[in-house]
Every structure is written in C-alpha cells, then in structure tokens.
Chains A and B, each alone.
Chain A
C-alpha cells in the first residue's frame, strides 16, 4: 500500500533564502509523523506548500500514490488535507458551531443557516475522537486548549484525513498537552494521519511514530521514535552536539539589588492580580518565579519595569524607591528587561535590526549628539553586537520582522546585555525558541549572574526555572507563597505549591529529597 502522503523533491526558494531544498517525506496511514527542526529550518514553509498557500518551485506531491497539484487551500481541503495553524483562525465573538461552519454553512429551507445540524455533527465528531467541546460556547470564553480542539473539529468537519498541526503545544499548559496527545492517539486509531510540527524533543518522543528532522531547508534524516533519543534528535536538529544540561557554578550572592515589599498591582482590566508580593533578589543570584500562567507574573514584571502602575507597596532598586518611576527612569538605573512578548514589547518589527539594537540607548552618546542620531556609530555597534551575540541576519539593515523568532530574541538579549546592568528581569526568555537558541540564552543569563548581576527569571516552564535558578519563588494568586533554594527541591513539591497547596501540607505530600538536584534540561 502506498503511503497516504508522499512529497518528493520539494524545493522552494524566497529571495535570498532556499527555504526547502529537495525535501522527501512520507506519511503512513494511521501514523503520526513529527516534523522536527529549529525555527527557520523550513518546516512551516513545507507545510504551507502542502496546504496550497505557497507554490513549490520544484517537486511532486502524491496522495495515496496518485500525483496531485495543490493550487490553493481549497484544493488541499478537497484532497483531505487539514491544517491547524499555530495562531488559531477563530473568531472570538462567535460560538464554536459558528466557527466550525464558517465557509461551509449548511442551509435549511433555502435561506436559513442550519446551525443545529452542525452542532449535532460537532457532538458526533467530539464523541468519536474524545474532543470535548461545547458547540454553544463562545470562542472568546474558552481556554486555549479548548480553542485548539475547536480548530481540530473544524478540520475534521471538512473531512480531513491528513491533519497538519503547526507547533500545537506552544500555547498549551502541560495538562492541555496531555489532553491533545490523547486526541491525537484517538485520531490515528480511527485511521487518520497526522503531521506534527514542533521543535520540542520530549513531545516528539512521546507522541510520534516516525520523526523527520529538517535543518537549513534539508531533510537530515528520518528515524523511528522508538529508536531515537533526545540527544540524538537534538544533535540532528542543531548539527552538532548539544549540551542538554545547564552547567553552573554555585551562586555567590551579594547585596540586595531588588527589594519588593507588599506589592499590589492591577492588570489592564483593573483586576487585582498581584496581591501583596514580597521578595528580594541579590546580586549574583538567579531568583526564579514559578507559577501557572496568569497568577500575576506578567503584572509583577510590568510593575517592576514601570509599564503598569503600582496600587500600593514598595519596589526598591539598589535601595531607591522606583514605585512611581517611568520605564526610562528604571532602565537608566541599570535594569534590563527581556519581555514576555517579544514582538509586542521587545521590538519595533518594521525597524531595521540596527535601530532595534539601540532601542533603549538611542538618545545617549555615542548614539546621539544632542538630537542628531549618529547613524554610523549605531550601524557599527550593531555590526559588532550581531557578531558577538551570533544573530543570524543577512545584514543589520533588514527589518527585524524578517528574522526568525530565535534571532529576534537574540537581538533583544544583545541589546539588553550590552548596557551596563545591575538587574536583569527575564520573562519567559526562551518562549517558542529552538534548542540551540535556548542553550545559548541560558548560557548568557548564567554568564550575567556570574558577573554579579541580579537576575529575576519568570517562566511557566518548571524545567527552565529549576535548571537556571538559585532560589525559586512560587507565585500563586498574586502572592509569593514560598521561596526555596533550588538545589534542594522536588518538582512534585513545587507543583503542589503552584496548585495552591499550603507549604506545610505540600512538604508532607512531597518531601524534599536529601541529595543535590541534578537537573537536566528537557524541552
């Protein structure tokens, strides 16, 4: 039996880039194929070709052994190919039913929309594949995991046999990831085939049957998941041995750099999300803030960096009260900020790389004399930073929007680390990045710590917190419920604290191990 989908020699070039270089790939019926690769390896381009969004320069596509041409997404849908995009294509003010039927609305009595019919079909699909969804719920009210299920139903409703999921776990919590995997297993058990695009090694090993690794637009190799290991996949992906363990010397904490006391902050909707948080960060240590997303971490960081007003409480940086200070004033005190949302806060996307590298210092000498920008100095400095921080860009004049996510993050890190800083506030510094970039950015953060910078690390990825931190603060409902040394803590104990269990009860349920923590970085 021929494979349900086969690609042969797919080649696609964009001006200046060979995104796909004669790629061969095949998917068996009832199997999950993982397409693994770093950001910019050509995974998304390949899938967009398959979905008819791009036209390949060369190559053939076969479905069930028959060669076909895919001119646009409607061709792809007609051939049974469905795509769940990384950023959902749902309309928040409509219900799940309305979203599912968009574009293929069934009509009753000539003019009326037949929503009931769609809702019934949704329930059938939902039952068959374990996809729990309320057809009447508004998308805007659903958690991200449920929205993703609606996307999958949308694809199944259009009778897809081959489902492409582009980075489906990037936006999910660990529990939601488990739920998604359950759905994927039931999909293949029902004869569907799945292409799962990701750069997360752990997930690939637990869900995929076959793994095709892409690097620089080429297929590096295809392996069976049961024969693969994280180390092997990582080195295939990156093209060299990857250090999966974060190596760091014991911290040598110095004076208090950041002192937060009884801090209260409201979010944009005026909900009180930080409720009396108190903690200290010392020079030369990394304090990790662990917690399930939405427990006030975002607003805590906004308040510390002057982006959100403080309701009450104290924030002292090197002893100076900065509660009412402007973002610029705080930056000038030696605070660096790697923001949670790099595209919203960290970069001016249409601006060239060189302008983004001086975004916080453009008004100071040597980048400006009076009000006149010193373009030449800016460009030269940018050239040095790009080399020093290994930012992969054709030159410093291209808009930063044309860079891959990992390289955009490196631009931010280069900018923030090249200023003299005393405090680094890193909010999800490796979100959505590939193994190579994660390794690099973790190394840089530890380097800063060793230079004596105080580091506040906020991340919902517990692995990352444990790997990097010297002390771990657990945030729950806007409060710091406990601060523990990272070397002597169990993941289970932290998990309980994150779920709101009191420290005294959590310690009984999950005793702290006596030995030192040997932490492996697993992503």
Chain B
C-alpha cells in the first residue's frame, strides 16, 4: 500500500520520476522512427530519379560512349544533366533567391512590386497547389485511423466542388462573411454526405468501403457530367458552371496572376483541427479504437456503426472542402475533369504522412511542390514531366514497403505497432 500513497506525491515517488522522462524518450525515438522511413524514401526516390534523368539525356549517353578516353567529360555531363533538371525543378517550385532579393530591392527603390511578385510566383503557386492536397490527404488519413480505406476522396472532392460552386454562383448580394463560409460549408457537407453513405453501408451491412467508395466515385463523375451539361451549365458551349460571385471567393494574398489564397491557411487550420479531434477528444478516441480493434471497441461500449459514419463523414467532408477551396480559391468555376486526380493522390499523401495530420501536411507540401515545379523542369531543362510522377511513384513504393528502405540503409527493424489501413470483408 506504500506505493499508492507515494504515487499521489510525485516529488517523493522515485518510480514516477524515473517513468516520466523514460516515457518522453520513448516518444522521441518513436517520432524519429516514424520519420526515418518516409525521409529516406523521398531521398531514395530522388536518387533513382537522378539516375533516370542522366540515362535519358542524349548528351550524357554520348559522353559515356567515350568514357575511357575522357571519363571526366562523362561524369561532368552526368552531374550537369542532373543539376540542370533538379535546378529547374527547384526554380519552378520555390523560385530563385537572388530574384526575390532583387524584387524586394526594386520595390523599395521604385515602389514597383512587379519584379517581387514575379519572383515569388513559383513559391506561392506551389502553396496554392498544396492546399487541396493537404485537405484531401487529411480526408484519407482520417479514414485510415478508423480502419477504413476511403478511395472515394476523388468523388467527394468533385461533389464538394459542385456544391460550393452552386452556392457560389446562385446566391447574390450576400456579404462575403456569410457567402464564403456558406459556400465552403456546402462543399464540406456535400463531401460528407458522399462519404457517409459508404460508411453507413459498411456499418449496417458489412459491405466493403473500398468497393462502395469506388462506386460512389463513378456516380459522382457521371452526376457531374450531367450537371455540367445541364442544370449547372453556364450559357455558352462548354460544359462549365457560371463563375462564382466575388463574395464567395477565398481572398487572395496578392494581385493576379498569383493565386495563393486563404485556402492554404484554412487547410493548415483543418490539420490542427483534425489532430485535436483525433487525439484530444472522446470522439477521436473512439474512432482510433474502432480502427485499431473493432471487437475491443464494441466490448468497451462504443458504437461501431456510429463511428464508421462519423469517420467517413469527416473524411468525405475534408475531401469536399478540398474541392471547395479549389473552386473558391483557384478556379472560381467547375468544368469537366475538374479534379485532376487530387483524390487519388491524396491516398499516397496519407500513406507518406503515416496518417498523422502533421505528416500529411509535410507530405502534401512535398507533393504539391513537386507537381508545381514539374512544368518548368520540362520547359527549362527539357526533362519530361513524367519524371516527377516516377519519383512520386517510387516514394510511395518505398513507404509502402519499408523493408526495402531498411534493407538499403541497413536499418534494423524496431517493433512498432502496425497501423491497420483496411480490413477484409464483413463486419
């Protein structure tokens, strides 16, 4: 009984003093362990990408035919090809620091911000691209936490975009602080409903969410085709919705053509919200418990069906919000083929981010930055845009098969809890 009384007074309890820092150390090493594989996966992806870039460069190939006479030339050509490609990628996604410096200088000297805005264009454009990736990545991550594989982010994204566009262009004369939240909310609600349906089906009948979210994707694609060619079509020939009212647009930080807008801040806020929800609330506790062990969750009195529906609604809602920010912040209207695969890429982002909100934000930053730099890599360095898809694909393979990374870098596997991403058929 001694230990009980000691426990209530932490100052005098030796055991507690020992146990606390140890807990923290464990948490630190766990964090390191969690970060290690994704970081090495990205690194390895870039290294292999570099090899492919070198091999697909004519100058490099030509130089190697002469390798034994002039090995220096061949190596120089190799380094040059890789540096040019990745340099262009960096310039296209982050920008050039001297340009930014000169831009600031000329702004102070002449009061003309043109050069500055031009210099920060690549970086802000990357952040604008990152926004939907963060939100849709969070969507898939929330599903994973509940043991559900939401492949339907693509459809939920599209439905969210349509709903917010509808609210955006059909109400007029509302003040922005009503119109904008209403449009965002409509997007989130549309996605949430689209996600909740497979969640409910899974909970009630055991129908697998993978199949049902895929089916919901098809329904949403065809539904949007019909809407864009019919009820929601603006006057004109092309299948587009009308442009949303100014009062529904997410404000941009800089004048055109810089599209960086408040959607990015909203996405970061949602990441914080999702973290709080999952790890600091009773609802999140239940969702994680159901994801880790549905039988145990049921034993302890949790309602499985309710949690499936909540998780899928939140997941769908986040994907819908991603669509909404894309419409209200970037495009201002919805056209056919609107999503460009955000929903599917978000699965990769959730995997790379290990289903943790912070991880998702980092993964989305990487993903969006690569995507937005890819175009200039093609135009400046003549490296095909597909190299980026290749690197992204490799990163995902390595994240999904951490054993490969451990083998390459001789990292010993430390027993960590395995996250259940999805379960089999049935309840």
Contact = CB atoms under 8 A, between A and B. Distances in A.
9 nearest CB pairs, A to B: A328-B301, A350-B417, A395-B19, A397-B23, A345-B299, A359-B300, A371-B281, A387-B3, A363-B282
B303 to A, nearest CB: 7
Contact of B26 (A331, A362, A363, A397): A397
B227 interface: no
Interface string A367-379: 0100111010000
B417 A373 contact: no
A359 B296 contact: yes
Interface string B9-32: 000000110011011001100000
A348 B292 contact: yes
Interface of B: 3-4, 7-8, 15-16, 19-20, 22-23, 26-27, 280-283, 285, 288-289, 292-293, 295-303, 414, 417-419
Contacts of A331: 300-301
B289 A307 contact: no
B4 A348 contact: no
Contacts of B419: 350
B296 A344 contact: yes
A10 to B, nearest CB: 20
B336 to A, nearest CB: 41
A12 interface: no
Contacts of A344: 293, 295-296
Interface string A327-361: 11101100001010000111111110001000110
27 contacts: A15-B414, A307-B299, A326-B301, A326-B303, A327-B300, A337-B299, A344-B295, A345-B298, A346-B296, A347-B293, A348-B292, A348-B293, A349-B292, A349-B417, A350-B292, A351-B288, A360-B301, A363-B282, A371-B282, A372-B281, A372-B282, A388-B3, A394-B19, A395-B20, A395-B26, A396-B19, A397-B23
A348 B280 contact: no
Nearest to A371: B281
Contact of A351 (B8, B19, B282, B289): B289
* Interface bracket on A: 35 or more
A401 interface: yes
A398 interface: yes
A384 B7 contact: yes
A362 B282 contact: yes
A94 to B, nearest CB: 20
A399 interface: yes
B280 A372 contact: yes
Given A348-B297, A396-B23, A383 B16 contact: yes
Contacts of B418: 350
Nearest to A401: B417
A119 to B, nearest CB: 33
Given A326-B303, A371-B281, A395-B20, A359 B7 contact: no
Contacts of A349: 292-293, 296, 417
B118 to A, nearest CB: 47
A341 to B, nearest CB: 8
A270 B22 CA distance: 49
B382 to A, nearest CB: 48
Given A337-B299, A339-B299, A387-B15, A368 B282 contact: yes
A397 to B, nearest CB: 4
B292 A360 contact: no
Contacts of A346: 296, 299
B294 to A, nearest CB: 10
A517 B293 CA distance: 43
A396 B16 CA distance: 10
Interface in A291-347: 305, 307, 326-329, 331-332, 337, 339, 344-347
A161 B418 CA distance: 37
B7 A347 contact: no
Given A373-B285, A401-B417, A387 B7 contact: yes
B296 A362 contact: no
Nearest to B420: A350
A329 B301 CA distance: 8
B295 A351 contact: no
Contacts of B22: 394-395
